[in-house]
Every structure is written in structure tokens, then in C-alpha cells.
Amino acid sequence: MGERVGIIGMGQTEHRFIRPDINHEEMINDAVRLALEDADLTIKDIDTVIIDNMDLFEGHYLADGMVVDGAGMYMKPGLKMNTGGTSGGTAVATGWHHVASGIFETVLVIGWQKQDASPSIAALATAREPLYDRGIAAGAVGIFASMGLSYMQETGCREEHAALARVIMADNARRNPYAHLKLDLTVEDVLKSRVLVWPVRLLHMSPTSCGACAMILSNEKRARKAARPPVWIRDLETVHREVSVFRGGCVEPQPAISAIEVAASKLYKRNGITRPARDIDVWELYTPSSWALFPWMELFSICDKGEAWRLVEKEAIRIEGEIPIEPSGGVVSTNPIGASGVIRVAETALQLRGEAGERQVTKKAETGIATAWGAGSWIVMFYLSKHS
Amino acid sequence: MNEELLEIIIPLDLKYKWSAGPHLGAFLRGLKEEKIIANRCPVCARLQLPPTPACGRCHIGMGEDWVELSHQGSVISYSSVVDPMFDAGIGGMRPVPYTIAAIVLDGGPDVAFFHKLEENNPEKVKVGMRVEAVFRPPEERKALMEDIIHFRTIG
Amino acid sequence: MARRVGIIGAAQTKYGRKPEMHLQDVAFEAVQKVLQKTGLKFTEDGSGIDATISCSQDHWDGWTISSKNVVNGGGGHLRPEEKVAEDGAYALYYAALCILGGHYDCILVVAHTKESQVDGRLIENSGLEPLYTRMLGLDFTSCAALQAKQYMHTYGISHEQCARVVIKNRGNAMHNPCAQAPEILTVDNVLGSPVLSEPIRLLDAKPTSDGACALIIGTEEKAKKWTDKPVWIEGLGCSYDRHYPGYRDLTDPLSLKEAARQAYGMAGISNPRGEIDLVELSEYYSFQELLWSEGLGLCEPGQGGRLIESGATQIGGEIPINPSGGLLSGIPVNVAGLNRAAEAAIQLKGEAGGRQVDGARTAVIHGAGGVCGQMHCVISVRREP
């Protein structure tokens, strides 16, 4: 294998529905400054810059080229990645491969999205075949409705449990100064919110956020000298899958074999993780809807099939619980899409550093899993550890 | 089989709302007041037109050193555009030919400003030619690049 | 580079307008061809291709997450796939880094674009910062015209010298079965073609094109096992210049020089003109071949015009440039850089037929992106003697 890869700095902007006060380059610049400050480095210490967003959301073709000054990319090598919702995860993975190659010592990874530029749902609709289902697809909501529906049919889970999951994430978000939605919710509030596609209600879905997150990765030599304790990205796995088959109406069938299962089983096997709930201390799972949490928990083998809702009912996923999931409040609280994957990794690293403040998990956190999810079924998965 | 090819036109009509932000915003607000505003890098002292949050070369934040540039300058390059181009500003095809130019404004030798020239006869345009910005009347200005109608030939 | 990365095989579609094909068909055709050529399959156990890195653009495809168009056919189903949203040369650059990093041993790189399905000038217009340059109704051609004029004025480059690039490249394409627009042209043909944006005329610009290109690369061990003619990637470089063309001296391609410096440094090339046997570069407009030649250190600044006049860049010359026919013979954007790599590999494998550069052992691959060549990627390759 190549060089070990450590996270030595991270910074994120605040996340809001609209940022009319600032343009995309300025927003990126804010995140980059915070990450450099955190690592006690200057932009001159950075060897290469990886950046990602979903292009059609802002309507910028070659958006990387437009933000060269703000991102600190002038006369530096760099790449622009875009894999949809997984973009942020892909960007971190790209940075990882750059360090692992031995050619670069330090890599700056930047994820961003400015969803106040256009109605995101319009851009998201172009994820579908224009001559087939673009006109009738219900976007991401339909996918989660299908998930929720079949999960309720197959297990004892009820709407109340998804609502409780949402409440727990909101409680976590209120302890995270960077979270976008810091809602004070009860189960009743969630159950009273408007149905989008049953059983998905408005409060079950992630917001359309503007924000940026920057992260600095380095090789072992550099990480050992870092200002903050490094957190190591021990391993990673990317799995995509074919575009799901459209089947009538506005919902998609769940794929027979999930990309998550494939990624998780490979990654666990390589790293000797036999009981994920025991071996992993903290999880940032990229759940764009509270309904996704149950299938996610089971596909990542955090628990057995059909058992996730019971763990939620027991509130084991809370910050103080045995299996803390989304201590940041998760994607359902904050979703600047291109940044969301980077934020998952950064939040996990912050937990392993022990610097997550009010949202620091109670149990001793030495290992974590961060993921990015998108395109209906794609996954990028990272195994983080305090130890190299 | 000799069937007609199926090619279906589906417009992708997305409307975007872009934030100008404090830096480019200062420039665009300046246009409304008949000013061309740049900012200056505190390290290399280069002028940035349009103003940017950071100097890409020095990798440093720009601070508040705003500089108003002259409305006059010299053409360093130009092109007569003959192939019609859709114009987002008017929502239709831009009438051709028109002349675009890279202009170095007096007092701002570090950067070139791109805009249209009034002179549409390429025979009459030369590198080094002196030009001056013609602004729309105040009531027609919208803090957009088109607040400058074009650059006219002077001298 | 401590370890070596080898190009195992390359394949491409024929280029041209393809109203009869869906985006996915175009990408899939190139993938199928390279799988057939190399006999490799997508596998899980290290006996074939481990991962896919694709290159396409949401704007050109009119499709958010445009790599959805290659997942099915490109080996992305329940497997790793990542998309580089830049020129295809960057996808190869990244794939080579992934192999060096050790996570994958064999990667399929695929790029596709159907330029004909959309008004590309609107796409290019949205590649300019929205409130400053985009509102002026500029596209990459009109900006390149400003670059051309300034370059020609500064160094006394003539339009005839630029036309010679078109004549050479379109002529070279006569021997390239994949080329879209092979043609024997004269200076009068080029100078008499309709003006797009003065001084750029129709034949000075690349034609609208559709197509795809696919490459398979691997570790030294895998490359030696799966091809008897591996081509080794020895130098990698890329760099960004600033966005606004007004910020740059358009006659001085700084980011190209920087990308070349990185790649040459890694490959140990100190005298590019003497050490490189052929160059496949991305000339979106005829004058850019001259300007990029200077940026790649093949001649002194301002000498690009003399270089083409001397005949040195012809097949059979001292430093052949674009023996494939280049972009001017019709290669889609995004595919462009990967097509350069495929053509370089074909040359070094000695499989280039009528366009073969005799005894070619080293080649330079160049990809470019953005307005007036804002970003450049340079990759140097070599075959064993």
C-alpha cells in the first residue's frame, strides 16, 4: 500500500438556506481559511487542491476554474470531481489517493454548494433519463418514501419511530454550532408536518443548504508534525450501481443488492471489523431523510435486519448512547450537497480528536465510519481511526 | 429498417439567482454610480478587476483597498464577432457583427477589462487604440455589466 | 515515480456527429472495444479491472451526475466508479495516482461527450463567471479570438502560419480511421472560410463532434502481464491559472508551463525538444497549437509560427505534433485529453499505421480546459526500447 493518510485540518462555514451576502468563491474562501487556521498552515503549504460540487445546481460549467483565487489553487495542480450526492465523499477519496500516491504531501479538499442560486429540485430532476422518466420522477423524496413504506411493511416500525429518529437528529443539531436547522422538535411536531410522498413528511427531508467545508489531508511524515492530533483515514471504499429501474408512479423499488452492503462488507473484511456496532465508536452516515436511517443501519450491519427501529426506540443512537449516529445532526439537519460528504468525514474526525464540544459523544471515540450517499444508491465509505 | 432518426428537443430552462457578494458586488454597485472599481492586493499591490476575495497569486485576503479606475484606456486585443451568439442579458440572439475588446484602463495596468466597442468596423480598430466607457443614463442602470453600453473611440 | 504505471490498451469510437446514438451508446462502444482489445473484464479478485474513472460534464450531457451514463456500461455497477469533471487528460492523471497509491491495480478510464446535442456556445458561456464576463455574451471562441489577436500582434504570428496548423492536422487525419474530418486543405481554404470571431475562422476551430475514448492502465506488474507493449506513464502535471482572462497575459500560458515543469521534472526530461519524439496536444483553435508548443518548451516564446513553417512538426519532422490530426480534425471536448493519450499510446505501441512516427519512444500528452486555456494537464509517456 501507499502512504498513510491523516486528516490534519478542517473548517466549515455556517450553513443556511440562502447566502445572498456572499458569492460562491467567497464562501469557499471562508472554509479554506478556517481549515488552514485549524492546521496552522498557510496556503503555500498546500501541494494540490481537490474541489467538488454538483454543477447544474448553480449552473456553472467548470466551476473549479471560477474559484481559483478563493480556493487558493493558482499555479497548483488540482481536480474537480462530481459524482452527485457522493461528490464530497469522492473528493475526500480523491485527496486520499493523492496522498497515498506518495507524490503529494498535503492536499486541500473543498466541498461546497450554494443552493440559493436555483431551485435544486429542477437540477435534481435532470438526474433522470430525459426521454423516459425525467418528467414524472419524484426525485429523492420518492426513493425514501419507497424505503419507508417497505420498511414499515417488513418490520414492526411505525411512523412514530421515524419521527423519533428525526427528533434525535434535531437534538444533536442544536448542540452543533455549524448545523443549519437547529429545530426544537417533538415526535408530534414531525407527525403533524406536511406529507410530501407518504410516509415522507417535510420534516423528514434534508434542507437545501448553502455552505462549504474544507479539509487538509497529509502523509504520515507531515501529520506527525501537525498542530492538531491527526486522525487517520485507514481505508475507504466507493461503490456505485446501475441506475435503478423505474417502476410505475413516483417511487423507485429498492435495489435488490445495495451498494452499501457491498462497500461495507469489503471494508469490514479488509480491516478486521467483525462486529461493527462494537468495533466502531461513532457513525456519520449521510442520511438525507430520517426514513433512510433504518435501512442504512441494517445495511451497514450496525444491527440485524428489522432491528434498527428498536435501537432508535431505545434511543441508543443518541450522543450519550451506545451507538452514536449522526452526532452532528446529520444531513437531515444540514445539506449543502457537495460539502455534505466532506462534512461527514470532518465531523467524524472531530469526534475522534475529542474536540466536538457539546456534541462530543459520551463513549470513548477511537474509530469511526463516515459515508457519503447519492445518485439514488451510490456510496463512498471511510474508516477513520485515532491510531495509524 | 430505414426510419427517421428520433431526436427530441427538450429545453433545460433553469433560472439562476447568483449572489454578487461583497467584492464583485462592490464593482457592480460602482457601475451604477458610473464608477469602475477594482481592489488592490495588500502584498503584491496588483489591482484586481473585477475585485476578488483573495489574490490568487499571493494567496492572501484582499482587505479594503478599493481603487477607482479611469473610464479611459487602451485596446490590447479585439475581435469582431460574426457568428451569432445567444445573449443571456436580452434572452435572444445578439445582433452581429459586434466588436469585443480587451482594454487596459488607465491607472489599472495589471488587468484587462473586457467589453464591447462602439466601433464595429474591424478595419478601424487597432491594438493601442484609445477608448472610453459610455455609461447608460443613471435611471437605466441596474448594477450590471451592461450599465456600460460600450467603449467609444477617443483621440 | 517510485512505481510505474502502464497503459495496457486504448480504444475509441469513430468521431463525428452521431444523431443515431444515445449518450450511453457512445460511451459503451469505446468501453466494449477496449475490453475486446485487451481481453480484460471487470472482476473482484484482481484478475481484471478493479475500478472505473470516468470523465464527462453535467452541462454537456444536460444531466446532473453525468457519470450515470457510464455506470451500466463502464463497470460501475456495484463497483468503484469516480467522475472527474475536467478534461479527459485529468481523468488519466487521477487514475495514474490511484494506481500509485496502491488501492487499485487496474483502472478503466473512459470519457464521453455528445457536443451535437446542445448549443456548445451556451455551455461555454456558462463556463464564464456569471456577473462579469458571462453577461457580455462571450464564449470560448470569442475569448480565444482576443487571445489569438494579442498573440499574433505581440509576436508577429501570421494567419497563414495558423492556417498551416489546420492543413497539417486535417491532412494527418487522412491516415486516422477514427478521425471525423480528414481533408487536404490549402491556406486559401482556411483563410477563405467564414469568420466566427475575427481572426478565428470556421476552419481555425474544431468542428462539433461526438464520441468516446477508453483506456486501461495498471501497475507495472499487471501491465507487463496483460500487454507485450506497455507504455509507461512517467510524468504527471497539471495547474490552474486565474479565471478572468483579463487577469492573465494571454500570450504567456503560465499554467501550461507549470504543468509541463511538474511532468518533465517527474520524468527527468530536461530538453523537451530533444527528448520527446511526438506530442499530442489540445489545440481547440489553430493558433493554440503554436502557443501551446511554446508553453510545452518545444520552442522559445513567439517562435511557434517559425516552428510550424520549418516543417519540424510534420510526421517525419523533428518533433511531430498531432500526427493523429489533433482536435481540429474533430474530437469532442472532455474526450479531447484522453484521446491525446490514446493516440500517444497507439504511436508508442507502433500501431498508428499511415500516421506512425517512426521509432517513437517518448510522447507528451496535453489536455486543456477553461477559457483561453485556463487549466492544463501534461503527461509524459515512454515505451521500453
Inter-chain CB proximity B21 and A72 less than 8 Å: no
Q: What is the pLDDT of residue C1?
A: 52
Shortest Cα–Cα distance, B145 to chain C (Å)? 6
Instruction: Please indicate, yes or no, if residue C301 is contained in any of the structural domains.
Output: no
Domain for residue A1, yes or no?
Answer: no
User: Tell me, what's the pLDDT at A196?
Assistant: 85
Q: Is C19 on the interface with A (CB under 8 A)?
A: no
For the cut 80, the answer to whether the pLDDT of residue A248 exceeds it is: no
d(CA B83, CA C196): 5
Lowest mean pLDDT among A180-189, B49-58, C259-268: B49-58
**What is the CATH classification number for the domain harbouring C114?**
3.40.47.10
- A249 band by pLDDT with thresholds 50, 70 and 90: very low
Residue with cell 475490453: C35
Longest dimension (CA), chain A: 58
What is the pLDDT of chain B when averaged over all its residues? Answer: 86
pLDDT at position C75 over 90: no
The residues in C 108-147 lying below 8 A from A, measured between CB atoms, are 123-124, 126-127, 129-130
> Looking at residue C131, what DSSP letter applies?
T
> Are A142 and A152 in the same domain?
yes
CA distance linking residue A238 with residue A262, whole number of Å: 9
Predicted TM-score (pTM) of this structure: 0.94
Q: How far apart are CA B84 and CA B105, in angstroms?
A: 28
Quick one: what percent of chain C has pLDDT higher than 70? 99
Which sign, positive or negative, has the C-alpha torsion B69, B75, B80, B83?
negative
pLDDT at C214 over 60: yes
pLDDT at A253: 39
* Measured torsion, CA atoms of residues C7, C9, C14, C15, in degrees rounded to the nearest 10: -20
**Rounded average pLDDT over C38-62:** 95
Q: Which pLDDT score, from 0 to 100, does residue A246 have?
A: 36
What number of CA atoms fall less than 13 Å from residue C218's CA on the CB side? 23
Question: Within an 8 Å CB–CB cutoff, is residue A61 touching chain B?
Answer: no
Q: Give B12's pLDDT tier (boundaries 50, 70, 90).
A: low
pLDDT at B1: 57
For residue C212, give the 3-state DSSP assignment: strand
Residue of chain B whose Cα is closest to the Cα of A73: B56
- Residue B103 in this model has a pLDDT that exceeds 60: yes
* Closest A-chain CA to C23: A129
Domain membership of residue C83 (yes or no) is: yes
Pair A275, A148 in one domain: yes
Q: Is the pLDDT of residue B91 over 80?
A: no
* pLDDT per residue as tens digits for the range A111-129: 999 999 877 777 777 776 7
Residue A114 shares a structural domain with residue A197? no
Answer yes or no: do A216 and A136 share one domain. no
Would the pLDDT of A245 be above 50? Answer: no
Task: Using CB atoms, pick whichever of C131, C146, C197 lies closest to residue B82.
Answer: C197
**A344-373, pLDDT tens digit by residue?**
999 999 999 999 999 999 999 999 999 999
A248 contacts: CB under 8 Å, gap ≥ 6: none
Nearest alpha-carbon partner for A291 in A314, A318, A309: A309
In chain B, which residue ranges form alpha helices assigned H by DSSP? 21-32
Q: Convert the pLDDT of each residue in C6-35 to its tens digit.
A: 999 999 999 999 988 888 889 989 999 999
Average confidence (pLDDT) over B76-99? 79
Give the C window 149-178 contacts with A, CB below 8 Å: none
Rounded mean pLDDT, C223-240 = 97
Q: Is the pLDDT of residue A176 over 90?
A: yes
Interface size B-C, in CB pairs within 8 Å, comes to 116
Q: What are phi and psi of A168, to 5 degrees?
A: -65, -40
Q: Is the pLDDT of residue C113 over 70?
A: yes
Average pLDDT over residues C91-118: 96
Shared domain check, A101 and A11: yes
Q: Considering only alpha carbons, which residue of chain C is nearest residue A81?
A: C84
The answer to the question of residue A214 being in a domain is: yes
Q: Does C121 touch chain B (CB under 8 A)?
A: yes
| pLDDT tens, residue by residue, A142-159 | 778 878 888 998 999 999
Span A202-228, pLDDT tens digits:
999 999 999 999 999 999 999 999 999
Tell me what pLDDT residue B7 has: 75
> Sorting pLDDT into bands at 50, 70 and 90, what band is A173?
very high
Checking ipTM against 0.95, whether it exceeds it is: yes
Residue B121 burial (CB < 10 Å; 0-12/13-18/19+)? exposed
Q: Please give the tally of structural domains in chain C.
A: 1
Residue A89: is its pLDDT beyond 90?
yes
Does position A255 have pLDDT exceeding 60, yes or no?
A: no
Q: Which residue of C has its CA nearest to B25?
A: C131
- Structurally, how many domains does chain A consist of? 2
Confidence of residue C254 (pLDDT cuts 50, 70, 90): very high
Percent of chain B scored above 90 by pLDDT?
43
Mean pLDDT within A40-57: 96
Q: Of A231, A266, A281, which marks where a domain is finished?
A: A231
Q: Name which of C133, C199, C200 is nearest B114 (Cβ-Cβ).
A: C133
Residues 50-69 of chain B with CB under 8 A from chain C are 50, 56-57
Q: Based on the domain organization, do A282 and A358 belong to the same domain?
A: yes
Contacts of B57 in chain A (CB under 8 A): 74-75
CA-nearest residue to C241 within chain B is: B56
Task: Report the length, in residues, of chain C.
Answer: 385
Band of residue B95 on the pLDDT scale cut at 50, 70, 90: confident
**Residue predicted with more confidence, A223 or A241:** A223
Q: Which residue among A76, A97, A130 sits closest to C103, beta carbon to beta carbon?
A: A97
- Which chain C residues are within 8 Å of B69, Cβ to Cβ? none
- Partner residue facing C247 (CB), from B7, B111, B145: B111
> Strand, coil or helix: what is C286?
helix
Does the beta-carbon distance from C194 to B82 stay under 8 Å?
Answer: yes
Regarding whether A141 and A157 lie in a shared domain, the answer is yes
pLDDT higher than 90, residue A244: no
Q: For testing the chain A interface, which of C78, C92, C379 should be mutated: the one with the most A CBs within 10 Å?
A: C78
For the residues C106-124, what does the mean pLDDT come to?
Answer: 94
Domain holding A287, by residue range, is 121-205+234-385
| Per-residue pLDDT, A268 | 98
- Together in a domain, A330 and A360: yes
Kindly tell me the burial class for residue A387, based on how many C-beta atoms sit within 10 Å of its own C-beta (0-12, 13-18, 19 or more): exposed
Residue pLDDT, tens place only, B123-138: 899 999 999 999 999 9
Give C240's strand partners.
Answer: A74, C375
CATH assignment at residue A343: 3.40.47.10
Of A1, A57, A240, the CB nearest to C71: A240
Cα C287 to Cα A17, C204, C373: the distances in Å are 46, 8, 12
Q: Which string of DSSP letters, residue by residue, matches C221-277?
A: HHHHHH-SS-EEEEEEEEEE--SSGGGS-TTS-HHHHHHHHHHHHHHT-S-HHHH-S
Q: Residue C32: which domain range?
A: 5-118+208-226
Helices and strands (H and E) in chain A: how many: 15, 11
Q: Residue A131 falls within a domain, yes or no? A: yes
Taking the CA of residue B20 and the nearest CA in chain A, the distance in Å comes to: 5
Average pLDDT value for residue range B19-38: 92
Residue A234 vs residues A268, A272, B146, C326: alpha-carbon distances, Å: 11, 12, 53, 43
Note the pLDDT of residue C39: 96
Average of pLDDT values for C274-295? Answer: 98
- For the ranges A56-60, A200-204, A232-236, the lowest mean pLDDT is seen at A56-60
Q: Distance (Å, rounded) from C-alpha C188 to C-alpha A172?
A: 72
With CB atoms and an 8 Å threshold, state whether A83 touches C81. Answer: yes
What is the rounded distance in angstroms from the CA atom of residue A100 to the CA atom of residue C263? 18
Given an 8 Å threshold on Cβ–Cβ distance, is B8 in contact with A126? no
The residues pairing with A382 across neighbouring beta strands, listed in sequence order, are A236, A370
Between A61-65, A102-106, B91-95, the lowest mean confidence (pLDDT) is in B91-95
When CB atoms are compared, the residue of A73, A117, A131 closest to B16 is A117
Is residue C315 situated within a structural domain? no
Question: Which candidate from B17, B21, B53 shows the least CB-CB separation from A118?
Answer: B17
Residue A135: the pLDDT is: 54
pLDDT, average across residues B6-15: 72
